[in-house]
Structure 1
Amino acid sequence: MAYWILKAVLTPVLRFFFRVRVEGLDQLSADGPAILASNHVSFCDSIFLPMVLRRRVTFVAKAEYFEDPKTAWFFRAVGQIPIKREGGSASERALASAREVLAHGGLFGIYPEGTRSPDGRLYKGHTGVARLALDSGAPVLPVAMIGTREAQPIGQVMPRLFMPITIRIGRPMRLEGEGLAGDPLVLRRFTDEVMFELRELSEQKYVERYAARKGTVEDVEPARVAHVAPVAAA
C-alpha cells in the first residue's frame, strides 16, 4: 500500500519538476515476471524508473540505505530488499528474495554493475542477472537511465530541477536451457550481452572491469559478446 501511495504522490511532482521521457515502454508486458537490468548512474535511478511504470518494481538496495534514518523509511516503505555488497551468504539471500518476487509474477530491478558508476561510464556486469534469468525463466529487459547523473551527481543531496531525464527500455532477452546453471561461461556471456545492450541504449563508454566502490578504474576495450536472440514482448 505504501508503494502506491508514494507513487501517486511523487509521480506528478517529479513530472512537474523534471522533463521525463520514456522510450520502449511497450517492450514490457502487462503481467508476468520480468527482470529490469539497468545502468546505475545516480541515486535517483531507483525513483525515476518506478515512477514511469504501471507495474510495481522491486529493487535490491545497499544495506547502508536501511541503516541511515534519512533513507531507511523510504526504502522500507517501497518494499526494497537490502543487500550487503561484500557478497557471500548475504548476496545469496538477496537473490533468493528476487527469485520469490519473480515466482509471484513480479518485476525485479537489478543493477548488474553492482554500484553506481563513479564517472558516468558503463562498467562490467556481475553475473547475478544471468543467474536470476536462468533460475526463473523470466526475460531480462535492459533499461538505460539517461540524464539522472546530471540531475543528481554522486554526493549531491538535492537534485537539479527541470533537467531532461530519458528512460529507454530495450528488447526482452532470455537465457534458457537445461544444464546451464553450473556453466560460468554461459552466465558470463549472457551478462556481457546484457551490458552490450545497455551500452547501445545508454550510449555510455564501456569499461571492461568491475566498477570500484570508490574512485575510477583504468579504461580498456570492451569485450566481444555473442548474440542472444530477442523474444517478443507479450
Structure 2
Amino acid sequence: MGESRGSRAMFTFLGLWVRPVMNALMAKEWRGQEKLPRDTGIIVCPNHVTEIDPVVIAHLLFNQGIMPHFLAKAALFDVPVIGFILRTIKQVPVERTSAGANRSLEAAREALADGGGIIIYPEGTLTRDPDMWPMKGRTGAARLALQTGAPVVPIAHWGAQEVFPRYAKRFHLFPRKRVRVLVGDPVDLSEFRDAPLTKTTLDGATDRIVDAITDLLAELRGEQPPAERWDPARKHQKLTGRNFEGRQENHDDAAPGGPVPGDVQ
C-alpha cells in the first residue's frame, strides 16, 4: 500500500512553501533520523511546548520521506479549503463520542497501513510544567500502538518555543533561533503487547513512552528533568486551553473503544 497519488501531490504542494518558510524562521539541527523505521507505519510521539510544534515535526518527517498525519478536530474538516486539504492528505478527524472515536481509530489504522506517520502528543496538550518538561501522559498513543502493533518513535525538540512561546500572540524572529530535534529508538512495549488493555496496562505503556521522550529532552537540554512528573489534575489545572488554571473534571482519554480524542490540543 502507500499514500495515494492525490495525497502525495498535496503534500508536495504544501512542502514547496512550508519548508522554505520553516528554514527562514529558524535554523535546524536534526539528529537520529536514521532511527525512524522505514517501510512501515509509525506512531511518532513528541514533546509539546508550543503551538508550532506540529509544523516542526511534520517538517522533519516529510524531509525523511514519511508522510505526517495528525489528529485534527473534526470541525476543521467542515471548513472550506482547509477541510479539502485535510481530507486529501488523510489527516485523522477526532470526535468526542464513542462512535466518533471508533472512526478516528479506523482512520489512524488506515494511515498506518499506508506507511505514514501518525503524530500523537502523549501529553494531549501543551505542557503545563513551569520548566516545560513533559507532563503526565494520556493513553491514546499507547492504546493505538498496542492495538495495531505499530512502532512508537519518541522525539524531543527544543528551541521552537523561543520563536513562538507557549500561547503567544506573535512570533519572535530576531535574532534567528535554532530548533534542535532528537529522534530516539522505538519504545520497547513488548511486555504490554499481550496484556489486556486495562488502565494499568495503558498507564504503564504511556509512562514508558513519556519516559523515553523525557530522556531525549534531557539530553538536548543538558539538564536533569524533575524527579516527579507534572500532573495537571493534581495541580487543579484544566486539561485544555490557554487559561488552564482552575479545576476541571478529569475525563477519560477517549470514549470507549477509541484512542485519540484525548490527544488533540
What TM-score do the two structures reach when normalised by structure 2? 0.71
Distance 1:158 1:68, change over 3 A: farther
Counterpart position of 1:16: 24
1:186 matches 2:197 = no
1:159 matches 2:171 = yes
1:35 matches 2:39 = no
Counterpart position of 2:239: 212
After the TM superposition, which residues 58-137 of structure 1 pair with which residues of structure 2 at under 5 Å, given as runs?
Answer: 58-63=69-74, 65-66=76-77, 75=86, 78-84=89-95, 86=96, 88-118=98-128, 119=130, 120-137=132-149
Equivalents in 2 of 1:69, 1:165: separation in Å? 32
Distance 1:70 1:101, change over 3 A: closer
Distance 1:153 1:21, change over 3 A: same
Q: Which amino acid aligns with 1:138?
A: A
Equivalents in 2 of 1:48, 1:32: separation in Å? 22
Q: Residues 131-161 of structure 1: CA distance to partner in whole angstroms, max 9, x if unpaired? A: 1111111110111121222211244354322
Shift of 1:179: 4.1
Equivalents in 1 of 2:170, 2:88: separation in Å? 21
Larger Rg: 2
Q: Which amino acid aligns with 1:29?
A: P
- Residues 10, 85 of structure 2: 8 Å contact kept: no
Counterpart position of 1:146: 158
- Residues 41, 117 of structure 1: 8 Å contact kept: yes
What TM-score do the two structures reach when normalised by structure 1? 0.79
Paired positions, count? 217
Distance 1:217 1:71, change over 3 A: farther
Equivalents in 2 of 1:212, 1:46: separation in Å? 19
RMSD: 2.8
Structure 1 ranges of 4+ moved more than 6 A: 67-71
Shift of 1:45: 1.1
Equivalents in 2 of 1:71, 1:163: separation in Å? 29
Equivalents in 1 of 2:30, 2:245: separation in Å? 30
Shift of 1:191: 0.6
Distance 1:157 1:95, change over 3 A: farther
Equivalents in 1 of 2:133, 2:181: separation in Å? 17
- Residues 113, 123 of structure 1: 8 Å contact kept: yes
What are structure 1's unaligned runs of at least 5 residues? 219-234
Shift of 1:192: 0.3
Which of 173, 182, 185 is the matching residue for 1:171?
185
Distance 1:208 1:217, change over 3 A: farther
What are structure 2's unaligned runs of at least 5 residues? 1-8, 219-224, 248-265
Q: Which amino acid aligns with 1:96?
A: E
- Residues 83, 90 of structure 1: 8 Å contact kept: yes
Counterpart position of 1:230: none
1:196 matches 2:206 = no
Equivalents in 1 of 2:188, 2:246: separation in Å? 30
Identity of aligned residues (%): 29
Secondary structure of residue in 2 paired with 1:20: strand
Equivalents in 1 of 2:113, 2:153: separation in Å? 17
Equivalents in 1 of 2:208, 2:80: separation in Å? 38
